[in-house]
Structure 1
Amino acid sequence: MSEAVKEPSMLLQKEMIAKNYDAITSKHQSGRKVSSTFVPGNLNELLASFGILNNLPEINAIQNGMRKLSGDYILEAEKSGHSEDVCTYVKADIGMMGKGNIAPNGKPFPDPDVLLLSYTGCYTFMKWFELLREEYKCPTLMLHVPYEGDGHSTKNMRDYIVSQLKEVIIPGLEQVSGVKFDIDRLREALRNSAKAEDDLVWVLEQGKRTPSPIDAYFGGVYYIGPIFTAFRGTPEAIAYYQALRKEVQARIDAGVGPVTPDGSNFSDQKYRLVVEGPPNWTSFRDFWKMFYDEGAVVVASSYTKVGGMYDLGFRHDPDHPLESLADYCLGCYTNRNLPTRVDILTKYVEDYQADGLLINSIKSCNSFSAGQLMIMKEVERRTSKPGAFIETDLVDPRYFSAANVKNRLESYFQMIEQKRRGAARAA
């Protein structure tokens, strides 16, 4: 297979991610502390204020999936007793540890100095960190984030999180790092975050244009890379999103779509989709190709919101630093109830003038997959646009059937065409 063509911003974010891995694996030379934490609800600005590096286990699983390594790691974990039904991110991570714990740069991961779990709706994260705690025997800090079961947060919820930050998380990070908490340093990071978040939202909202200058799912995973991982709150993130915004503006000015992996500008866009659920990583390029071969562009997606619902108006606020961190955690997509997710996806279908909602149901991810058929039917009812359902997995190659996915996509596009013809006759 020929080398995939990448836009300049994609190459830039790849360099940034590589830089973070180099910093993590050189911990013993630099003397810096390393945390393990997760993407939804991550407290990157707070960690950075203590000089702690941020390693994200699910990002490691994604990297290994795209490198075709996760299949062997999953089998390694299953040999040690983990069920086939366990989240494959977990098994890819546990299996990686059993095979040398090698980072994408080819160097071994150091043991983390602290496990920081910000719990935002995914129960698996807690069990995952129990396994990591048994392996590493390091301090574990948990920030419990109340679930938005009623569809909104309350002052009591926010106050509860702030009290945990003050009484548990910050003292714990002070002890691990040996650095005294500096609220002004945190404020500066939050100020940087807000600037980057402004540009990210601008980029994602360009999917409302025709033709769309972005792909908000396959291309979107590159757009969100720096802000959802170790760079939110840094000057590097500001520079990245400024560069990305200029790149998208150039495509708007030229009237072209995003670049596909084969190097063509995807401008002949027949179908506009909203997609719910994470992508498949082990066959990412083939999965993407199925869409642009059919002329389908994703104009909005829920996956690009798992690290923050910035498009709904939230920004990190340096004037209210701890309260801002609490609001961020509460508002993560995985912490929102199903009716709220229906509202969000319905709004995307309408605002982005999509032809319908496509759900990629992930076999091993209950956090996303629970209730998705109900979500699809309700969005169909509200928008009168057809929905469709495909099934893959995160990083387990055994559960990606290219023929099955392709057939379902083709059937879905035929359904959209029938719906269009019916609407034309009615008019």
Structure 2
Amino acid sequence: MSANAQTEVIKDLSMLKQKEMIARNYDAITSAPETGQKVASTFVPGNLNELINSFGMLNNLPEINAINNGMRKQSGAMIMDAERSGHSEDVCTYVKADIGMMSKGNIAPNGKPMPAPDLLLLSYTGCFTFMKWFELLRKEYNCETVMLQVPYTGDGVVTDNMRDFVVKQLKEEVIPTLERVSGNKFDIDRLRENLARSAKAEDDLVWVLDSAKKVRSPIDAYFGGVYYIGPIFTAFRGTQDAIEYYQLLRAEIEKRMEAGLGPITPEGDMGEEKYRLVVEGPPNWTSFREFWKMFYDEGAVVVSSTYTKVGGVYDQGFRHDPENPLESLADYCLGCYTNRNMPSRVDMIENYMNDFQADGLLINSIKSCNSFSAGQLMMMNEIEKRTGKPGAFIETDLVDPRYFSAANVKNRLESYFQMVDQKRQSSRQF
């Protein structure tokens, strides 16, 4: 069997559905100058997709473009172009990949140029880099810009004052700007319909993520999980497409559970499940498959991850609520993982360790992402203390291939799995 044929064999209907959705969205964005549709650029954490969509606007996400370029091995040259123009090596590589993408014609994955956005919409949810990124984009595009200031939950609690502050901005700043840019009046009933569709898709996503509580897990909640979260974290939340995607995905996972199968990998069904891990931090995108292979070759499956909560912590009970539309959008932004304090993140990870019967915590520390990396060693030490399970620390980057050392990562992982084995043996003796 050829490699291409093998790839086709493991393409489930949900994968094909998502691929078609993404292609159609890029076609719509790159065709906007001809169709007259307005385009908003925004970020994944705290994105207001249901609201943007209610005005008939398209949603383009810069960090998703950077991820796509990373997985297609194109981000390295873009980052170097950005550094040659004066951007520091320490700047988030998503930013540099985006700036470098502009210098190379701003070409979308479909081979067509991206149009300049009609609106930059920033929902600030704990990542200061997003603010500086949008300052750069505003200089580049000279378009309308609006910022939704989301208070950081430093005390780990969302208060009524925080929620009211966000809702007030939605009413007085964000919605009037969307009306002006789109040329359409705000339709709260259309927003309610979008939010109802979001909640339905979110239910199925949470079911899929919770399926990893089963031993053996039918999914990988980190490497496989980045595909599962795609539609709900990006331009499709609130659409019928998202509902259909998650219905397909859930049905496929149900069949895997019934058959006693483990996760699907790029090389087919995963073999024996030897290690169950919780992972903190984003993945490396430039060597994504090589990185993943280091895990499934060792029989390691990630049963839960914090990265798959960066666009919404639905597994903690939040759902978009059509009965309270603006308050619901505010609660969504306030509750994003990057907007939570360190104690809240540690509590989440501890619960994942226990609920998913994990053997240990692995941290992938991202060189250029302070939003995730700050405090990670403290988090690892605290989880080890609370659970008695071993932690490990590896270092890569988002989309800069210069900071992925395959040999170093592989050695660290192999040493870590030996540590897990030793911990198991010592536990059996007592």
Q: Which residue of 2 aligns with 1:25?
A: 30
Look up the match of 2:167: 162
Residues of 2 paired with 1:24 and 1:327: CA distance? 29
User: What do residues 360-402 of structure 1 show as CA deviations (whole Å, max 9, x unaligned)?
Assistant: 0000000000000000000110000000000000000000000
Q: CA deviation at 1:335?
A: 0.1
Structure 1 residue 267: Cα displacement: 4.3
Alignment match, 1:244: 249
TM-score after normalising by structure 1: 0.99
RMSD: 0.9
Residue equivalent to 1:349: 353
Q: Distance in 1 between matches of 2:59 and 2:375?
A: 32
2:153 aligns with one of 116, 129, 148? 148
- Residue correspondences, number: 425
**What residue in structure 2 maps to residue 116 of structure 1?**
121
Tell me the SS of whatever aligns to 1:23: helix
Residue 318 of structure 1 pairs with residue 322 of structure 2: yes
Q: Give the partner amino acid of 2:255.
A: A
Q: Corresponding residue for 1:175?
A: 180
Q: CA deviation at 1:201?
A: 0.2
Structure 1's consecutive aligned runs of 4 or more residues displaced over 2 angstroms after TM superposition are 1-8
Alignment of 1:283-294 (within 5 A): 283-294=287-298
1:300 and 1:15 map into 2 onto residues whose CA distance is: 27
Please name the residue that 1:187 is paired with: 192
Structure 1 position 300, deviation (Å): 0.3
Q: Secondary structure at the match of 1:272?
A: strand
* Residues 326-347 of structure 1 deviation map (CA, whole Å, 9 limit, x = unaligned): 0000000000000100000000
Matches within 5 A, 1:18-417: 18-263=23-268, 265-417=269-421
Structure 2 unaligned residues grouped into runs of 5+: none
Q: Structure 2 CA distance, aligned partners of 1:2 and 1:190? A: 41
User: How much does 1:39 deviate?
Assistant: 0.1
Stretches of structure 1 lacking an aligned partner (at least 5 in a row): none
- Cα distance between partner residues in 1 of 2:327 and 2:71: 36
Give, as a single letter, the amino acid of the residue that structure 2 aligns with 1:176: V
Please state whether the residue corresponding to 2:264 is helix, strand or coil.
coil
Conserved 8 A contact 1:6-1:261: no
Determine the C-alpha separation between the residues in 2 that align with 1:223 and 1:349.
21
Q: 1:113, 1:139 within 8 Å by CA — same for their partners in 2?
A: yes
Normalized against structure 2, the TM-score is what?
Answer: 0.98
Q: What is the CA–CA distance in structure 2 between the aligned matches of 1:226 and 1:267, rounded to whole Å?
A: 28
1:424 aligns with 2:393: no
Q: Output the amino acid matched with 1:35.
A: A
Counterparts of 1:10 and 1:423, CA distance in 2: 41
User: Contact 1:143–1:164 (CA<8 Å) still a contact in 2?
Assistant: yes
SS state at 1:390 partner: strand
Provide the identity percentage. 76
Letter of the structure 2 residue corresponding to residue 147 of structure 1: Y
Per-residue deviation, 1:15: 1.4
State the SS of the aligned residue for 1:357: strand
Distance (Å, rounded) in 2 between the aligned partners of 1:39 and 1:109: 18
Pairwise CA distance, 1:2:
4.0
Partner AA of 1:332 in structure 2: C
8 Å Cα contact 1:6-1:259 kept in structure 2: no
1:10–1:223 Cα contact (<8 Å) kept: no
